Amino acid sequence: MSHIDDIRQKIQLTEHTVFNVNSTNFPGTYDEYDDVWSQERFEERFQIDIVSLSDTDMEFDMVGVDAAIANAIRRILLAEIPTMAIESVAIWNNTSIIQDEVLAHRLGLIPIKADARLFEYKLKDAEQNTSEDTLQFRLKLKCTRNNISSDAKDPDILYKNHRVYTKHMEWVPLKGQEHLKGIRPVHEDILITTMRPGHELDMDLYCVKGIGKDHAKFSPVATASYRLLPEIRLLREFYGEEAELLQKSFSPGVIDLVETSDGHKMAKVANARLDTCSRNVFRHDELKDHVSLLRVRDHFIFSVESTGILPPDVLVSEAIKTLMGKCQKFLQELEDVTGTKGKHKKGSKKT
């Protein structure tokens, strides 16, 4: 690959800095390259490959887009995919040691297993809760003492209901929500508070639809991040102790040692994807000038960890739909502005 190709497509890591950070593959930048954008060329280049997928975690590769697009999807995942979360708490009785406002805050951060796409946003001035915009839970529990005659000191033996978990939250369907199924906290074993005999909780919890940029409790992901695909080039061959030192300079699995025909150990790049960008190789004078660390500019490795409200693949699909909607809205606004200006100019001529 030529030097210009590296500038256009790769980011280079050195001992103390990073080069070629800015994208340069724009029309007219290089005479010998046709970088004119077209939808056909984008469709040929763009691809998404799912590397791993579970109920809560997903890793996928997104190839052929600029960093701005990748970062837009990441930010939408964090802050603009709607979920249902506890917004208000009616506390009728709380004799536990946790203050009302602290307890309400803890309850608000509990992820609720409910598809927000089935609900509407609640109006700020709305006085009544409806089945279209609200979910209601009931938390009513009292701690009592078990009839134990032994000298046991374990609270689990001495007391009943002394630990309040999310499993104690009971969903109360509003009129018109009888068809909904599986509405519950994502996890049943989240500890809300602890109590002792005589302590009691009696409260109603109201969930509404919201997005992460309004409050972090609405964010559907525990984390959403991406990194560029690593590329490691060995500029010469490494044998013996140098090969072993090179292997130790990278994360496990990045460098393999293979045995040559004459019985020596030679280093080769096994899986550059596992590289964590430590740059430890530059600490060794005998290695640093003979290894090139690169990152592929338009190849993004995404990691998405869902809170469990929705599967991660659904979240990514919703993020892409949201981005498409933003683009369509922006194009429509441009058309409206252009049309307004055209009418204004035409009217001015007549005047």
Instruction: Measure the CA–CA gap between 192 and 8, rounded to whole angstroms.
Output: 53
- What six digits make up the tokens of 108? 């608000």
pLDDT confidence of residue 340? 59
pLDDT confidence of residue 161? 94
pLDDT confidence of residue 3? 79
- Residue ranges covered by each domain of the chain: 3-47+226-301, 83-218
Instruction: Measure the CA–CA gap between 184 and 190, rounded to whole angstroms.
Output: 12
Nearest in space to 6 (alpha carbons), one of 265, 297, 285, 266 = 297
Check: CB of residue 80 under 8 Å from CB of residue 321.
no
4 by DSSP, 3-state: which?
helix
pLDDT digits (tens, 9 = 90+) for 27-72: 888 888 888 888 888 888 899 999 999 999 999 999 999 999 999 9
Cα torsion angle, 116, 117, 123, 127, sign: negative
Low-confidence ranges of the chain (pLDDT < 70): 1, 340-351
Region at 235 (left for phi over 0; alpha for psi -120 to 50; beta for the rest):
alpha
Which numeric CATH code is attached to 83-218? 2.170.120.12
Where is 230: in which H helix or E strand? strand 221-234
pLDDT digits (tens, 9 = 90+) for 275-300: 998 899 999 999 999 999 999 999 99
Nearest in space to 282 (alpha carbons), one of 274, 293, 271, 294 = 293
Amino acid occupying residue 167: K
